[in-house]
Amino acid sequence: MTALAVRGGQKLQGRIEPSANKNAVLPVLCATLVSDAPIILRNVPEITDVQRINAFFEELGSTVAWDKQAKTYRIDHSTIAPNAKASLPQAMRASIMMIPGLLHRLGEARLEHEVKGCTLGAREIDPHVEVFKAFGAQESTEGRHIVFRRKGKSEAARMWLEYASVTTTENFIISALSAEGSSQIVNAACEPHVQELCAFLEKMGARIKGKGTSMVSIEGQPQFTAVDYTFDEDFHEVATFLALSAVTGGDIAIRNSRPDQFMLIDRTFAKFGAHVEHADGFSRLNAPERLVVQQNFTSHITTKVEAAPWPYIPADLLPIFIALGVRAQGNVMFWNKVYEGGLTWHTELSLFGAHTLLCDPHRLITFGGDKLRPATVTSPYIIRVAIAMLMVASSIEGESIILDADPIRRAHPDFVANIDKLGVDVSWDD
């Protein structure tokens, strides 16, 4: 059991260089399988899932060189033999995005029935199966594996998603690269990390229209070229450090090259009386003396933070705003419209002395303003929840223990080191 000891009560101050977005890095790494051209990726974080993908590429026969200190990843898939075989890493959700590249390169891919990931609720694979079949793959079950096979050329497809799934959208886009003709996806996810995948593919030679919208068209079979690509800062991490500043009464600036993505996030911080400034490539939150929930003009309606597919507030960011909710004076309703298991951890907040009410699997009310106390809490296997617990602990004088905090390392390898620089006394107990 990996635990974090947090000795809080300090106002955090300083400047931070964030890491890249895990949810952009992983699909880009998976998408490289369609190309034989050499690729250089920069600002690649040393996280568990990248380590798993790297091991898979080596087993497959790719030529890879990862300079972890420089955060540079060089890859060349042209060395993969036509009859190569390798076992997909099963401990991460991103494995399913390897399938389009494997079908393109080897004509076959195998996936275990149970693909792991954060414990947010049901994570069905049916939409992905529909994508692969739409591009000509045949699906069968062999033991505990789902096997996809494709013979011959793939033809263009058109698909209208039931909901704007990020990973399904990414699988469709990657699959379409190998198909003859123009493919189109309707109700596509348009999160920043989906846009970044498209930006990488365009730099590699792909022809994509509609990036960042709900209707995306992809011209198949481009001539891929060598590419040198640098990942943007992770907007999740930028928002998280801003929230840490707000919850501890601090003053933190964090590098952010995409403030254009923060208009709604900024408005959400403002609901707690905290205001974000963007200038000179940095985003800064100089916290007020006290967080106070701002009242609606329609006074009988509780202030809400609603999380749904982009351009709503991302569900992944909801926990950090819940942490603000238990510290701010006033009441807030949080609505997770994506995951039915994304709010069950709220009971751990009561150990800090927080007052919350789960209305149903998707809605939670925080009744803020209570005096909180240090506590020992247990994090579920959800990255941003572990961070939210760390945020609450950082705002309380005394030592708190967060058990099962290891998910933080899945997305943010330097996160604990960074908050230590900002003034939090924190240490791992492995």
* Bridge partners, residue 41, by sequence: 73, 229
What average pLDDT does the segment 241-247 reach? Answer: 97
Domain check: are 266 and 397 in the same one?
yes
Domain check: are 348 and 289 in the same one?
yes
pLDDT of residue 429: 82
pLDDT class of 121 with cuts at 50, 70, 90:
very low
Domain check: are 279 and 374 in the same one?
yes
The answer to whether the pTM exceeds 0.75 is yes
Which one-letter amino acid corresponds to residue 219? Answer: E
pLDDT of residue 369: 87
Domain check: are 278 and 190 in the same one?
no
pLDDT class of 117 with cuts at 50, 70, 90:
very low
Question: Contact, 391 vs 321, CB < 8 A?
Answer: no
Joined tokens for residue 165: 């799934």
pLDDT of residue 114: 60
Lowest mean pLDDT among 106-120, 129-143, 183-197, 237-251: 106-120
What average pLDDT does the segment 304-315 reach? Answer: 95
pLDDT tens profile 32-79: 999 999 999 999 999 889 999 999 999 999 999 999 999 999 999 999
Choosing from 201, 230, 259, the residue where a domain stops is: 230
Residue 318 burial (CB < 10 Å; 0-12/13-18/19+)?
A: buried
Shortest CA distance to 342 belongs to which of 311, 370, 356, 363? Answer: 363
Choosing from 172, 206, 230, the residue where a domain stops is: 230
pLDDT of residue 90: 75
pLDDT class of 113 with cuts at 50, 70, 90:
low
Question: Contact, 62 vs 79, CB < 8 A?
Answer: yes
CATH classification of the domain holding 241? 3.65.10.10
Separation of alpha carbons 276 and 284, rounded Å: 6
**pLDDT score of 120 more than 90:** no
**pLDDT score of 130 more than 90:** yes
Separation of alpha carbons 317 and 337, rounded Å: 13
Separation of alpha carbons 136 and 107, rounded Å: 11
Which residues touch 412 (CB under 8 Å, ≥6 apart)? Answer: 19, 45, 47, 234, 237, 383, 387
Domain check: are 403 and 375 in the same one?
yes
**Side-chain half-sphere CA neighbours of 267 within 13 A:** 11
Separation of alpha carbons 284 and 295, rounded Å: 24
Domain check: are 311 and 254 in the same one?
yes
Rg (CA), the chain: 22
pLDDT of residue 118: 46
Domain check: are 196 and 244 in the same one?
no
What average pLDDT does the segment 377-383 reach? Answer: 90
| DSSP per-residue letters across 190-253 | --HHHHHHHHHHHHHT-EEE-TTSSEEEEESS-----EEEEPPB-HHHHHHHHHHHHHHT-EEE
Choosing from 176, 209, 230, the residue where a domain stops is: 230
The single-letter DSSP state of residue 89 is P
Q: Locate tokens 């400047």: which residue?
A: 15
User: What value does the mean pLDDT of the chain take?
Assistant: 93
The backbone region for 192, taken as left when phi is positive above 0, alpha when psi lies in -120 to 50, beta otherwise, is: alpha
Percentage of the chain beyond pLDDT 90 is 80
What average pLDDT does the segment 22-36 reach? Answer: 96
**pLDDT score of 210 more than 90:** yes
As for how many domains the chain has, the answer is 2
Domain check: are 166 and 270 in the same one?
no
What average pLDDT does the segment 300-314 reach? Answer: 94
Domain check: are 322 and 225 in the same one?
no
Domain check: are 155 and 246 in the same one?
no
Domain limits for position 376: 3-19+233-429
Residue 302: how many other CB atoms lie within 10 Å: 12
**pLDDT score of 208 more than 50:** yes
Shortest CA distance to 137 belongs to which of 146, 147, 122, 149? Answer: 149
Residue 320: how many other CB atoms lie within 10 Å: 24
pLDDT class of 408 with cuts at 50, 70, 90:
confident
Classify 109 as helix, strand or coil. strand
Domain check: are 167 and 225 in the same one?
yes
Q: Looking at per-residue confidence, does 89 or 66 come out higher?
A: 66
pLDDT of residue 416: 83
In angstroms, the Cα distances linking 396 to 247, 308, 387, 391 are 10, 30, 15, 9
pLDDT class of 142 with cuts at 50, 70, 90:
confident
What average pLDDT does the segment 3-24 reach? Answer: 94
Angle (deg, nearest 10), helices 126-134 and 99-106: 30
Shortest CA distance to 274 belongs to which of 301, 306, 251? Answer: 251
Shortest CA distance to 219 belongs to which of 170, 182, 185? Answer: 182
Domain check: are 31 and 52 in the same one?
yes
pLDDT of residue 412: 80
Q: Cis ω on the peptide bond leading into residue 89 (within 30° of 0)?
A: no
Residue 260: how many other CB atoms lie within 10 Å: 9
Shortest CA distance to 115 belongs to which of 132, 98, 90, 140? Answer: 90
pLDDT class of 123 with cuts at 50, 70, 90:
low
Joined tokens for residue 136: 């000509």
Q: Locate tokens 């507030």: which residue?
A: 313
Joined tokens for residue 50: 């990248």
